[in-house]
Structure 1
Amino acid sequence: MGVRVLDPDAPSGSLALEITGDRVTSVGPVAAARTDGAEVHDLDGAVVTPAFVDAHVHATSTGLLVDGLDLTGCADPRTLLDAVAARATARPGALIWGHGWQELGWPHLPSRAEIDRAAAGAPVYLSRIDVHSALVSTGLLDRAPGAVGATGWSDGTLSADAHHHVRRAALAAVDGTVRAAAQRAFLRDAAARGVAVVHECAGPDISSAVDLAALRTLDGPEVVGYWGQAVRDVDEARDLLAATGAHGLAGDLFVDGSVGSRTAALRDAYTDAPGCTGNRYLDADAVGAHITACTLAGVQAGFHVIGDAAADTLTQGLRIAATATSVQALRTRTHRVEHLEMVDAEQRAVLAELGVVASVQPVFDALWGGPSGMYAERLGVSRAAPMNPLAALAGAGVTLALGSDSPVTPVGPWAAVRAAVEHRTPGSGITREAAVAAHTVGGHRAAGDHSATAGRLVVGAPASYAVWDGAGDPAPRCLLTVHRGTTLHSVRSGGVASSRT
Structure 2
Amino acid sequence: MRILLRGGYVHTPADPHATALCLDGDEVVWTGDDDASVHFEEGADRVVELEGRLVTPAFVDAHAHLAQTGFAAASVDLGAVASLGEALDAIAAHANSDPSAVVLGFGWDETGWPERRAFTREEVDRASGGRAVMLSRVDVHSAVVSSAFLDACPDVVHAEGYDVSGFVARDAHHAAREGLFKLTPATDREDAILRALQRAARQGIGMVHELGAPHICPPEDLAVSAALTARAPLPEVVRYWGELDGIETALALGCAGAAGDLCADGSIGSRTSALHAPYADAETSGHLYLDREQVARHVVACTRAGIQGGFHVIGDRAVTEVVAGFRAAADEVGVPALVQARHRLEHVEMASQEEMAVLGSLGVTASVQPMFDAYWGGDQGLYARRLGADRALPMNAFASLNKAGAALAFGSDTPVTPFGPWAAVRAAAWHQTESERVTVRAAFNAHTRGGWRAARRNEGGVIAPGAPASVAVWDVPGDLVVQTPDARIAAWSTDPRAGVPHLPDLHPDADLPSCVMTVVRGDIAFETEGALS
TM-score for both structures, normalised by structure 1: 0.93
Distance 1:87 1:240 in 2: 37
Distance of aligned partners of 1:436 and 1:105 in 2 relative to their CA distance in 1, 3 Å threshold: closer
Other-structure match for 1:109? 118
Shift of 1:257: 0.5
Answering whether residue 58 of structure 2 is matched by residue 51 of structure 1, we say yes
Other-structure match for 1:498? none
Q: Quick check: 383-392 or 37-46, which moved more? A: 37-46
Shift of 1:92: 7.0
Match of residue 479, structure 1, among 494, 510, 516: 516
Other-structure match for 2:19? 15
Other-structure match for 2:373? 365
Distance 2:296 2:439 in 1: 34
Q: Quick check: 102-111 or 316-325, which moved more? A: 102-111
- Equivalent position SS for 2:359: helix
Aligned pairs for 1:425-444 (under 5 A) are 425-444=433-452
Distance 2:53 2:59 in 1: 17
Other-structure match for 1:466? 472
Other-structure match for 2:499? none
- Equivalent position SS for 1:427: helix
Answering whether residue 169 of structure 2 is matched by residue 159 of structure 1, we say yes
Contact 1:6 1:48 survives alignment (8 Å): yes
Other-structure match for 1:126? 135
Structure 2, unpaired ranges of 5+: 1-5, 477-503
Shift of 1:47: 0.6
Answering whether residue 200 of structure 2 is matched by residue 190 of structure 1, we say yes
Answering whether residue 418 of structure 2 is matched by residue 420 of structure 1, we say no
Contact 1:11 1:28 survives alignment (8 Å): no
Contact 1:93 1:122 survives alignment (8 Å): no
Other-structure match for 1:31? 35
Contact 2:101 2:183 survives alignment (8 Å): no
Match of residue 181, structure 2, among 171, 176, 193: 171
- Equivalent position SS for 2:61: strand
Answering whether residue 102 of structure 2 is matched by residue 65 of structure 1, we say no
Other-structure match for 1:456? 462
Letter in 2 for 1:249: A
Aligned pairs for 1:382-401 (under 5 A) are 382-401=390-409
Aligned pairs for 1:312-351 (under 5 A) are 312-351=320-359
Answering whether residue 213 of structure 2 is matched by residue 203 of structure 1, we say yes
Shift of 1:218: 0.5
Contact 2:371 2:427 survives alignment (8 Å): yes
Identity of matched residues, %? 47
Show CA shifts across 1:118-159 (max 9, x none): 222211100000001101111112233332242212123211
Other-structure match for 1:499? none
Letter in 1 for 2:279: Y
> Superposition RMSD on alpha carbons, in Å?
1.8
Distance 1:190 1:456 in 2: 19
Distance 2:434 2:100 in 1: 50
Answering whether residue 111 of structure 2 is matched by residue 74 of structure 1, we say no
Contact 1:56 1:404 survives alignment (8 Å): yes
Distance of aligned partners of 1:9 and 1:429 in 2 relative to their CA distance in 1, 3 Å threshold: farther
Distance of aligned partners of 1:493 and 1:485 in 2 relative to their CA distance in 1, 3 Å threshold: farther
Distance 1:126 1:167 in 2: 11
Contact 1:59 1:187 survives alignment (8 Å): yes
Distance of aligned partners of 1:433 and 1:9 in 2 relative to their CA distance in 1, 3 Å threshold: farther
Answering whether residue 366 of structure 2 is matched by residue 353 of structure 1, we say no
Contact 1:444 1:455 survives alignment (8 Å): yes
Structure 1, unpaired ranges of 5+: 496-501
Letter in 2 for 1:217: A
May I ask how many residue pairs the two structures share in their alignment? Answer: 486
Aligned pairs for 1:265-344 (under 5 A) are 265-274=274-283, 276-344=284-352
Shift of 1:78: 1.5
- Equivalent position SS for 1:400: strand
- Equivalent position SS for 2:29: strand
Distance 1:6 1:116 in 2: 53
Q: Quick check: 162-171 or 114-123, which moved more? A: 114-123
Contact 1:93 1:121 survives alignment (8 Å): no
Distance 2:529 2:112 in 1: 45
Distance 1:135 1:181 in 2: 24
Distance 1:217 1:329 in 2: 33
Other-structure match for 1:223? 237
Distance of aligned partners of 1:316 and 1:65 in 2 relative to their CA distance in 1, 3 Å threshold: same
Distance 2:26 2:351 in 1: 40
Contact 1:420 1:430 survives alignment (8 Å): yes
